[in-house]
Structure 1
Amino acid sequence: MSALSEFRRDLVIAVIFFTRIPLRYRGEIGPAELSRALRCLPLVGLLVGSIAALAGFLAYSLGAPALLAALIAVAASILATGCFHEDGLTDVADGFGGAFERQRKLEIMKDSRTGSYGAAALILSIAIRAAAIAPLIEAGAAWLLLPAAHALARAVIPGLMATTPQASATGLASYHEPPRGAVLWSALGGGALAALLLAGLPAGLWLILAAFLSTLCLRWLALRQIQGYTGDVLGASEQLAEMAVLATAAALLA
């Protein structure tokens, strides 16, 4: 199989697994295939971010206020991913906030029910993202900065996986093999390149720093709370990085 065919295969797997966009894939998607497809996460982010930017632009063009258009943009990204990362954020908030013992935290994170901590985290996530996106829409910058934010927010996931032990032998995270060097650097490099091309200098560097710091903070917290990462922690890392990058972009515009 040629390098281009392998890349196309990995991109299809990444889109299937991380979004609700209906694509067909012939063959089994095992841990090795899924881990290799992580290199395409920045492209998945560009796709989701573009969908969100288009929805926000259309709403704003039809006369919706900027904040309402921003909420529609966030809703579009949620629909595109099926609340994939939001679910991780709510589970992490419930688990980390709802118990003192490590094992009990992990049990709460596996519970499909959403508690008060999770609900608050989800509300804050939507509110912060919408508040940050509104000025980007008004400035006509959402077309560039939303895809950049989504690309960066997903690019940090393999880095978190590569530098942090797994907290549980079961669950979604255990289905991945640890990302190899080529996959890791492809994802990180792809996200950084997207930010630099779409946001320019020096703004792109600030966005990269925001994504890096938010992930570093979550890694520290996850190690203290459950001694590693789970699939929910990976989802939460995307949400925190997305919020951090969008808030930074809005601050730079201001």
Structure 2
Amino acid sequence: MANRDILRQFSGDLRLALGLLTRLPLPGTPDMARGAQAAWAWPLAGLAPAALAALAMTLGSALGVLPGVTAALGLAVSVMVTGAMHEDGLADTADGLWGGWTPERRLEIMKDSRIGAYGVIALILSLLARWSLLAGIVASGSLWAPLLAAGAISRAPMVLLMAWMEPAREGGLSRAVGRPSMETAGLAVLAAALPALLLSGPGAVLAILAAFAVALGLGRIAQAKIGGQTGDILGASQQLAEIAALSVLAASL
């Protein structure tokens, strides 16, 4: 009976993570009451968009599509599966942290649906970096391992930032989800590290360290500028962590 309960909770947390971080149609109704307790499964949910992007890129390569176009196809699939929520967070973070002079004004800018110059530049640089890395990965002939590893690794820092930092505003997605415990954050790190190590071997350790370093650096900036984290900050941390992880993994191919 205990094993059934563990399996039921595992599947429920994974469904909740997929429902929050992707736009995939899912059967049943996730247990929203779990909230931040299910955040440990975010790295596992990150495997879904990575796998679909890798599948699209594998098909593109099999059809003889050029590496650059294949990389663009993988990016497009990833953005569609996640609903561009992390990209949106990156743009809002860039606009807010560098577009306002006070914490209140920065938070106001981050909440604004309009995008400014900082946001546009951040998106262009992020997409260009990821496209370049994916094109190199396609050319190397190894797709699945680095994409899946980076997909898992890049979601763990979001949980760490939520456990480490207070929400910077009263409302928003981050406060609605809740604040995970450090134990939950530790499980998230484990859920990211295990598949990454199985897929990429010892090189995954450097990828994990690089991803966490850039995400924690962003966290320190956010703490200084707005006094905590928001859903936008978490989304931006995923983008930066993915670029860092892919950079390390691509270099080892």
Opposite residue 228 of structure 2, the aligned amino acid is G
> Hey, what's the Cα distance between the residues in 2 that align with 1:118 and 1:44?
26
Q: Which residue of 2 aligns with 1:247?
A: 247
Give the counterpart letter for 1:160 in structure 2: L
Map of 2:51 onto structure 1: 50
Superposition deviation, residue 23 in structure 1: 0.8
The residue that corresponds to 2:228 in the other structure is 228
In 2, the alpha carbon distance for the partners of 1:8 and 1:22 equals 15
The one-letter code matched in structure 2 to 1:244 is: A
- Look up the SS of the partner of 2:26 in the other structure: coil
Between Structure 1 and Structure 2, how many residues are aligned? 250
Gap regions ≥5 residues in structure 2? none
- 1:128-143 equivalences in 2 (<5 Å): 128-143=129-144
CA gap of 1:64–1:179, structure 2 versus 1, over 3 A, is same
Post-superposition shift, 1:34? Answer: 2.1
Task: Report if aligned partners of 1:42, 1:155 keep a CA contact under 8 Å in 2.
Answer: yes
* Correspondence for 2:6: 3
C-alpha distance in 1 between matches for 2:36 and 2:5:
19
Query: Structure 1: any 5+ residue segments left out of the alignment?
Result: none
Matched letter for residue 206 of structure 1 = L
Deviation at 1:86, TM superposition (A): 0.7
1:188 Cα deviation from its structure 2 partner: 0.6
Q: Secondary structure at the match of 1:2?
A: helix
CA–CA distance in structure 1, aligned partners of residues 96 and 249 of structure 2: 30
Equivalent residue letter for 2:17: A
Over residues 208-232 of structure 1, what are the superposed CA-to-partner deviations in whole Å (9 max), with x where a residue is unaligned? Answer: 1111111111111111211110010
Deviations 1:158-215 (A, max 9, x none): 11111112211111111122112442221111111122111112x1111111111111
What's 1:115 paired with?
Answer: 116
Aligned partners of 1:87 and 1:34: how far apart in 2?
A: 22
Equivalent residue for 1:205? 205
TM-score w.r.t. the length of structure 1 is 0.94
Deviations 1:106-159 (Å, cap 9, x if unpaired)? Answer: 000000111111111111111100101112112222211001001000011111
Alpha-carbon distance in structure 2 between the residues aligned to 1:196 and 1:26: 32
* Structure 2 match to 1:163: 164
2:214 aligned residue: 214
The code of the aligned residue for 2:163 comes to A
Conservation of the 8 A alpha-carbon contact between 1:14 and 1:34: no
Q: TM-score, normalised by structure 2?
A: 0.95
For the Cα contact (< 8 Å) 2:16–2:31, is it kept in 1?
Answer: no
RMSD: 1.4
Deviates more, 1:241-250 or 1:87-96: 241-250
Amino acid at match of 2:6: A
Q: Distance in 2 between matches of 1:170 and 1:150?
A: 28
Q: Contact 1:168/1:230 (CA < 8 Å) preserved in 2? A: yes
3-state SS, counterpart of residue 169 of structure 1: coil
| 1:20 and 2:23 aligned | yes
CA–CA distance in structure 2, aligned partners of residues 112 and 230 of structure 1: 15
- Cα distance in 2 for residues equivalent to 1:138 and 1:239: 22
Q: Which amino acid aligns with 1:195?
A: A
